[in-house]
Structure 1
Amino acid sequence: MTNPGWGGVPGDGTPPQPRCVRHPDRPTGLSCTRCGRPACPDCLREASVGYHCVDCVAAAQRDVRPVRGVAGNAVTATRPKPIATYALMGINILVYLVTALQAKSVMDNGAGFVNSFTGAATFNSPLFGWWVLSPYDVAQGDWIRLVGSGFLHFGLIHLAVNMFALYILGRDTELILGRARYLAVYAISLLGGSASVMAFEGGGFTAGASGAIFGIMGAQAVILLKLRRSPAPIIGVIAINVIISVSLPGISFWGHFGGLVAGAAATAALLYAPQWLGAGQDREKAVRIGWIGLAAVTLVTLGVVGMRVVQLRSELGL
C-alpha cells in the first residue's frame, strides 16, 4: 500500500516522487510547513513562517473568531467604505434636483402659496407639496410626509449645510455601528424629528435632513460614552447647533430636538440595553436585545405620532 500524495514506479530503482495531495498528477518538491503534506504552488499560500496549504489556511480561518465592534457588528481588517452615508447623501441630492427642476428654481424649490379662503397650500414643486411635513395633513392620512420631509430641503444652501454635516458625522458613525444599525438609527432619528414637530409645533411646513443629522450627533455622544471617551467635543457641537436653532427664525427647534433624543435613545438601546438585560458574553443574545431595543424606540416614536394624530383629528372634527 502506498501513502496518499506520493508516487513512483515500484521496482524501477528510482525514489518515490512526491506529488500534490490535491493534484496527484503534479510532481512537487514543496510541502506545507504546517501539516507536512506535499503541495504544488497553486495549493500553497504564503504564511508568517513558510507556506501553508489551502486546507490548513481554511482550517485556521474557521478557528479564528470574528472581531466584533462595540455594537456587535463585524469588523474587517480594511476600513470599509461608508456606502450607506453616501447613499443617503445621494438620495437627498436627487430629491432636491427633482424639486428644483419642478419649481424651475435652484434657491426657491420649496416656494408656494396658501389659499387664504381654504387654507390649502400649493407648491411650485408637486413633490415638495406631497412630502413636506404638515401636521394637519398627516392627521388626514398623508403618512408619507413623516419620512419624505426628511429628504426635502429649502434651497441649495440648506441642502449643502446638511449634506456637509452628514458627510462629516455619518462616516465614522456608520463605521462604528455597522451599516444596518447605522441606517436604523438614522431612520429612527428622522422619524423622531417628525414626531416632535407633530407633538410640539402647530401649523406651518417643515423639511430637511437636520432632524436625522441631530440624531447622528446624539448617537456619537452615546458611542463615546460607551468607549469611555470624553463626549465633550460632540456635546459642544450639539450645544452650538441648539443655540442656532433657538436663535434664528425659520429653523425647527423641535425637529432638531426630537431627532437628537431619538438618535441617542436608539443608540443607547443598541449599546447599553444588552448589558443592562444581562446578555453577558452571549453575542447572539446581545444582538437580539439590541434590535429589540431599536424596535421599542420606534414604537414609542410612532406612539407619539399616533396620539398627536388623534388630537388633531379631533380638532378637525374627523
Structure 2
Amino acid sequence: MTNPGWGGTASEGTPPPQPRCVHHPDRPTALSCTRCGRPACPDCLCAASVGHQCVDCVAAGQRDVPQARTVAGAPVRTQLPTPLLTYVLIAVNVLIFAVTAVQSRSVMDNHIASPLFLDWVLWGPAVAAGEFSRIVTSGFLHIGLMHLAVNMFALYVIGRDTEMVLGRARYLAVYVIALLGGSASVLMLDPLIPTAGASGAIFGLLGAQAVILLRLKRSPMPVLAVIAINVIISVTIPGISLWGHMGGLVAGAAATAALLYVPGAVGARDRKSAGTAGWFALGGVGLLTLVVTAAAVAAI
C-alpha cells in the first residue's frame, strides 16, 4: 500500500521558529512595533495612538518633537519647576550674614565689629584704592536681621518667576549685571557713604519682570506699582540707598531687554541664532556696566 500523505513528514509538521525581541534575544515574541515592524517583547513596547511602538521609536519620536521654550529661550519643564539658583542665592546671603553676626556677636549690629563686613562693604575710597572686589561682595552683605529678611523675602518672591522665564544662566547674568549696575550708580553719585545689600540686584529683577511682561504683551502696571512704592520708601526712609536701587533697576531692565528684543531686531530666525544674538547683546550691556563702573571709580 502507498502512503496517502496525511500530515506530511515529521519535519514538515514542525512550526517555524518564533521571532526574538531585538533587545532581548532570549525572549521569543509574537509582537512587533507598529512603526518599524521589528519584533519586541511586552517590556520593550509602549502604547501609542495606534498599536504599540518599541522603545527606540518612542525615543526617536520624542527627539523629533520641538522642546517648548519660554519667551527668553529657556526650556519649559512639564514637572513642577525648581528655582534652584534663587534658593542658592538666598542661602549664600544668609550664610554670609551669619558669619558677620558671629564675628560681631550681634544679629542687629553685625556691621559694626565684623572684619568680613568691613572688608566687603562698598566704600568709594577703598574701591578707588584698588579693592575692586567690594563692587560685588557688597551685594551679599546686610545690615541687621530685618534688612536681610526683607531682601530675602523679596528675592524669593521675585526671583522664582524670573528664573523660570529666563533660565538659570540668563537669570544669573541679569542678577550679576543688576548688582554691578547698583554698585556703579553708588560709586558715581554717592561714593563716600558705605553701602551694602542685595536690593540693587533685586530691583534689577523687578526691572526684568517689567520687561518680560511687555515682551509677553501683558500689562506691567503691577510691577511698576511695586517699583514706585519702593522708590518712595527709598526717598522717605533714611539710610536706604536710592542710587543703588535705581542703578540696579536700570541695569537689570536693560539686560533683560537686550535678551528679549535684540534677537528679533537683528532678524534671528531660529533658536540657536536667537540665543547667540541674545547672549551677545547681554554681554554688551554687561560691558557697558563695567565701563560706567570704571569711569565712576576713576572720578572718585
| Shorter-normalised TM range | over 0.9
SS of the aligned residue for 1:223 comes to: helix
Unaligned runs of 5+ in 1: 1-8, 112-123, 313-318
CA distance in 2, matches of 1:294, 1:245: 28
1:146 is aligned to 2:146: no
Write the deviation string for residues 235-282 of structure 1: whole angstroms up to 9, x where unpaired.
000000001001110000000000000000000000001111221x22
Which of 1 and 2 has greater Rg?
A: 2
Whichever residue aligns with residue 213 of structure 2, its letter is L
* Shift in Å, 1:32: 1.9
* Shift in Å, 1:15: 4.0
Q: TM-score, normalised by structure 1?
A: 0.88
CA distance in 2, matches of 1:79, 1:191: 32
SS of the aligned residue for 1:52 comes to: strand
CA distance in 1, matches of 2:172, 2:11: 67
Structure 1 match to 2:6: none
SS of the aligned residue for 1:207 comes to: coil
1:275 is aligned to 2:276: no
* Shift in Å, 1:12: 4.8
Instruction: Give the alignment partner of residue 230 of structure 1, picking from 216, 219, 226.
Output: 219
CA distance in 2, matches of 1:292, 1:211: 23
* Shift in Å, 1:55: 1.6
Unaligned runs of 5+ in 2: 1-9
Count of residues in Structure 1 that have an aligned counterpart in Structure 2? 291
Which stretch shows the higher mean deviation, 61-70 or 101-110? Answer: 61-70
Q: What is the identity percentage for the equivalent residue pairs of Structure 1 and Structure 2?
A: 64
Structure 2 match to 1:3: none
Q: Which has the higher contact order (CA 8 A, sep 6+)?
A: 2
Structure 2 match to 1:87: 88
Structure 2 match to 1:22: 23
Structure 1 match to 2:100: 99
SS of the aligned residue for 1:45 comes to: strand
Structure 1 match to 2:32: 31
Instruction: Give the alignment partner of residue 306 of structure 1, picking from 283, 294, 299.
Output: 294
Instruction: Give the alignment partner of residue 257 of structure 1, picking from 246, 254, 262.
Output: 246
* Shift in Å, 1:162: 0.3
Structure 1 match to 2:4: none
* Shift in Å, 1:22: 2.6
Structure 2 match to 1:63: 64
* Shift in Å, 1:285: 1.4
* Shift in Å, 1:11: 4.0
Whichever residue aligns with residue 135 of structure 1, its letter is G
Structure 1 match to 2:3: none
Write the deviation string for residues 171-229 of structure 1: whole angstroms up to 9, x where unpaired.
00000000100010000000100000001113121000000000000000000000000
Superposition pairs for residues 183-198 of structure 1, below 5 Å?
183-198=172-187
Instruction: Give the alignment partner of residue 288 of structure 1, picking from 258, 276, 283.
Output: 276
